Chains A and B, each alone.
Chain A
Amino acid sequence: MLLLRAIGLMLLLTMAGLTPSKAAEADLRATIAKFAAATGFSATEAVVRELAASGDPAVERPLSALAAGNLYIRKSDSQVFVGKEAGDGIELLDPLSGEETADAAKADLTKIKVNNGLRRTIRDALGTLTLRAKDASVRLAAAATMFKTPDAANIEPLDAAIAAETDPGVKTLFEQARAASVVVSDKPEADKLAAVSIIAARGDRDALSLLTSVDANGQGAVKDAAAAAIGNINSKLALWDAGQNIWYGVSLGSVLLLAAIGLAITFGVMGVINMAHGEMVMLGAYTTFVVQQVIRTSFPGLFDWSLAIALPLAFLVAALVGLAIERGIIRFLYGRPLETLLATWGVSLVLQQAVRTIFGPTNQEVGNPSWMSGSFDVGQLAITWNRLWILVFALLVFAVLLYVMKRTAWGLQMRAVTANRRMAASMGIRTQWVDALTFALGSGIAGIAGVALSQIDNVSPNLGRGYIIDSFMVVVFGGVGNLWGTLVGAFSLGIVNKFLEPYAGAVLGKIVVLVLIILFIQKRPRGLFALKGRAVEA
């Protein structure tokens, strides 16, 4: 969709100077007018094909408008227009020139319906039309489309495009697209063999897909060549698959780390079994939602900054709530783990229902800023930006937390209080306030984890529920009271999970991981990195 729009924009720019000759324009207009009489997708598709067959670049505007669902028929005179939303009504633009002609209410217009099949047809048609576009990225997109939809008729325009192409990257893609079309054509076997080797050199899933159908439909040497190439690509892809599992595991690990790291402080360092931890994450996510809401209504230009703005606010909100919980409830319950567990469970229910009452029970939409959308390829590995940023962010949070714990006076006090409360008190540390601030810190960290998790998960009152078990698992597995243990625990659980998933399925994979952890805890009750000394006895 975006791609089409981009193509449209590019073409607009490139064609600014071009206007079709009068006679050709009249023909095009006559064809476009047929949309009004076309009923059903197949009739519309016939008109699209007719327009595409004209080979005139001017048809790009109505076609991409149609693909985007912006082509309208005026009910009064059956004229076809490109529509643009303008307030309550729709601004009508001329389908060829793009000039504004009139406004109309939605009720006076019929939208021409499109479905996936039509969008595909239009995409293919635009592919051929945009082979000679000035912008290299448009040509790249055209080549990619033509590679996926090989057709013997494509060979001729591609030959011409290859001859005129100067960009080596685009040229390679054109040649691959040509090869794809050659293997489905009735060219001699030698040509097809050459084409198969060009496609095989590409070595990705699209090539594999194409070669599989060649293998299924081809004969003789071509079939053999395709089969050999498939074998080659598959063995290469198997390696990439392993790499992909590691990346997915690391990515899942970063999410687990983010969710668990606040708990590593409240549970790991302070020893409080905090069942409301997940709700702190949820509060962070809802803070992000509120920030984005304000930005959407008042400062739309700042949207890409929304997460940066939400971070400190989410930390504050969650930390303040955490502080209130500690001062109001938990401080009376130190040393009574069962009561703490019950009380914090109750708090979690209260917080959930409060959010449900204020924001409603349904999911709230938290948008991805542009720098967190989409993906890029490393070899055959598609890495999505949001996962990558979350990994970076998780490591950053971890580093900062480690610094605070190990290198600041406050961190020293925190560790002193948890190691030996009475000794710390007699050294003049206000243990009560250290407790409160430590709990607030853990909650605040959970809050900023919520900002990141809002990018990949539902923002609903149940958000925290999904993470609480996993968080405890990570902290217990990694070793209570040890931040490094949490890091290693999160990543190893993530990677094990993702290696099991393709073979065992997500459901069984999770069970296997749980069983492994139970066995592990039997062997080493204090987790991976057991803290030596008094802290563990508490």
Chain B
Amino acid sequence: MRGNFAKITKILSAGVVAAGLLASASAKAAEDTIKVGILHSLSGTMAISETTLKDVMLMLIDEQNAKGGLLGKKLEAVVVDPASNWPLFAEKARELISKDKVAAVFGCWTSVSRKSVLPVFSELDNILFYPVQYEGEESERNVFYTGAAPNQQAIPAVDYLMSADGGSVKRWVLEGTDYVYPRTTNKILEAYLKSKGVPAEDIMVNYTPFGFSDWQTEVSAIKKFGSAGKKTAVVSTVNGDANVPFYKELGNQGVKAEDIPVMAFSVGEEELAGLDTGPLVGHLAAWNYFESVDTPENKKFIDNWHKFIKNDKRTTNDPMEAHYIGFNMWVKAVEKAGTTDPDKVIDAMVGVSVPNLTGGYSTMMPNHHITKPVLIGEIQADGQFETVSQTPGLVMGDEWSDYLPDSKDLISDWRAPLSCGNFNVATGKCGGKGTN
């Protein structure tokens, strides 16, 4: 039974590949366009998050075309569906670059899908814009990271909880889904908390499988851990689908934000859309963007989004803003370089600065990460976040964490003389290794 099952999944995925190849063959178009690849899962488990990003890219490309295109040419989107299948991401990326000859690719969500396409992008020398918050410990010449690095999300979030405003938390539960992002983030957070003098017995780390739905034991363990007479908070790196049952169980077991707040790094407006947020008011999330941010740029973006998707109930979220920033940066860099040739665009990208949606400017740094403000929001009864804290200035993405022993000596600088993603300042050599 089990052996057969494995064989069958293999046959099936081969079938899916074949179907995908057929579908993308139709993406042929006229010669005088600039093609932009969109590599987001439209089916399978990740479709829930990634489909929205495909839509927002189509909207941005439409808007750019309405403004007259780029370098006098129209932009053309090439959409492929890697179907939440990690090896298929690499195949689809190869197809976009070699067959469709796209100028840049916007895509990926999970870290494992990004890792799977990295070799393709460096081999075929193209550009990937990666829009999701991630665990860091990476800097590639061909990738631009427009989502948050841990120091742009996790560390400020913990700082907030430790502050008087956040409740002077002394005891920490690090709850995560069992895969690379939560594990690395929690490793960084544990080191950071210990550096702040939190004793080991005041930190509880727990992992659950993907799509976990029975949270009774975990929530009561959190309640138990929280009844030690010290202010307790949960830092949640629980991923996607598992969040809804997690929050439902929290609400049902009466864990209130005033007593044990939950700070989430993967819960945005989109995830809350499937929930009755009444019992969750006051739980927190840390992002670089909230739909509720009150700026003219954001209002325009939301209006355009509602018009484009023809549904004014659809929410916007942080990875969408990341694509907005990434796409505008790419447009600006192409205009600066006067060509879409990836090599020239990569060099032109560093230093490019475009408005973000929270009322400031984001700049591409030499380490291929961007500067962003960090916002802490509390969940409201209407499913939106209300910003309760914001970093005073912009925070620069730090790819190699200062709190991990292996990576604290590493830096990344892709500008001409150094041109290295993992330069070890202690040994003075390029080619250090991080923790991952």
Contact = CB atoms under 8 A, between A and B. Distances in A.
Residue of B8, B275, B282 with most chain A CB atoms under a 10 A cut-off: B282
Interface stretch (A46-54, A364-372, A442-450): A364-372
Contact of B228 (A116, A209, A352, A462): A209
Interface string A435-446: 000000000000
A1 B381 CA distance: 10
Contact of A356 (B8, B47, B273, B380): B47
B249 to A, nearest CB: 8
Nearest to A506: B208
A148 B388 CA distance: 25
B220 A505 contact: no
A375 B254 contact: yes
Contacts of B68: none
Interface string B211-224: 11110111011011
A458 B47 contact: no
B136 interface: no
Contact of B217 (A205, A211, A498): A498
> How would you classify the secondary structure of chain A's contact residues: helix, strand, loop or mixed?
helix
Given A216-B229, A501-B217, A384 B253 contact: yes
Contact of B274 (A211, A364, A501): A364
A244 B216 CA distance: 9
A361 B46 CA distance: 9
B48 interface: yes
Contacts of B245: 456-458
B253 A251 contact: no
Contacts of A252: 214, 216
B244 interface: yes
Contacts of B51: 360-362
Given A382-B220, A502-B217, A362 B227 contact: no
A466 B211 contact: yes
Given A353-B43, A466-B213, A506-B208, A374 B274 contact: no
Contacts of B257: 116, 119
Interface residues of A, number: 67
A298 B194 CA distance: 55
Interface string B369-412: 00000000010110000101000000000000000000000000
A385 interface: yes
A426 to B, nearest CB: 33
Contacts of A384: 216, 249, 252-253
A505 B207 contact: yes
B297 interface: no
- Most chain A CB within 10 A, of B4, B166, B213, is at B213
Interface string A386-425: 1100000000000000000000000000000000000000
Given A205-B224, A384-B253, A457 B208 contact: no
Contacts of B378: 115-116
B213 A459 contact: no
B79 to A, nearest CB: 14
A1 B217 contact: no
Given A356-B43, A361-B51, A457-B245, A117 B273 contact: no
A120 B276 contact: no
Contacts of A458: 213, 241, 244-245, 274
Given A387-B216, A507-B209, A373 B48 contact: no
Contacts of A41: 165, 388
B252 A375 contact: yes
B124 interface: no
A484 interface: no
B220 A457 contact: no
Interface string B340-379: 0000000000000000000000000000000000000010
Contacts of A69: 281, 380-381, 386
Nearest to B208: A506
A366 B162 CA distance: 35
A169 to B, nearest CB: 19
B45 interface: yes
A367 B277 CA distance: 10
A367 B8 CA distance: 37
Interface stretch (A58-66, A92-100, A160-168, A337-345): A337-345
Contact of B254 (A342, A374, A457, A501): A374
Interface residues of B, number: 67
Interface centre among B4, B45, B214, B245 (most CB of A within 10 A): B214
A363 interface: yes
A382 B252 CA distance: 9
B178 interface: yes
A212 B228 contact: yes
Contact of A209 (B208, B212, B229, B271): B229
A365 B253 CA distance: 20
Given A341-B8, A375-B254, A457 B244 contact: yes
B335 interface: no
A507 B208 contact: yes
A498 B215 CA distance: 10
A327 interface: no
Interface in B38-63: 42-45, 47-48, 51-52
B278 interface: yes
B30 interface: no
B61 to A, nearest CB: 20
Interface string A469-501: 000000000000000000000000000001001
Interface in B189-234: 206-209, 211-214, 216-218, 220-221, 223-224, 226-230
B45 to A, nearest CB: 5
A287 interface: no
Given A212-B229, A356-B47, A345 B282 contact: no
A507 B47 contact: no
Contacts of B167: 116-117, 120
Nearest to B248: A456
Interface string A170-213: 00000000000000000000000000000000000110111111
A128 B107 CA distance: 55
B206 to A, nearest CB: 6
A51 to B, nearest CB: 19
Nearest to A206: B227
A510 interface: yes
Given A116-B282, A460-B48, A498-B217, A365 B8 contact: no
A255 interface: yes
A507 B252 contact: no
A412 to B, nearest CB: 30
A460 B381 CA distance: 22
Given A361-B48, A502-B217, A507-B209, A385 B279 contact: no
B254 A205 contact: no
A123 interface: yes
A43 to B, nearest CB: 12
Interface string B276-288: 1011011010000
A501 B213 CA distance: 13
B164 to A, nearest CB: 7
B312 interface: no
A462 B211 contact: yes
Given A460-B274, A506-B217, 15 more contacts: A115-B282, A116-B284, A119-B282, A120-B167, A210-B229, A244-B220, A338-B4, A342-B11, A356-B43, A361-B51, A362-B274, A363-B274, A365-B275, A458-B241, A460-B241
18 contacts: A69-B281, A119-B282, A120-B167, A205-B223, A205-B227, A209-B226, A209-B228, A212-B229, A213-B230, A245-B217, A248-B217, A362-B274, A386-B248, A498-B217, A506-B207, A506-B209, A506-B212, A507-B209
Interface of A: 1-2, 41-42, 69, 113, 115-117, 119-120, 123, 148, 205-206, 208-213, 216, 244-245, 248, 251-252, 255, 338, 341-342, 345, 352-353, 356, 360-365, 367-368, 373-375, 382, 384-387, 456-462, 465-466, 498, 501-502, 505-507, 510
Which 5 A-B residue pairs are closest in the complex by CB-CB distance? A363-B274, A213-B229, A212-B229, A209-B227, A205-B227
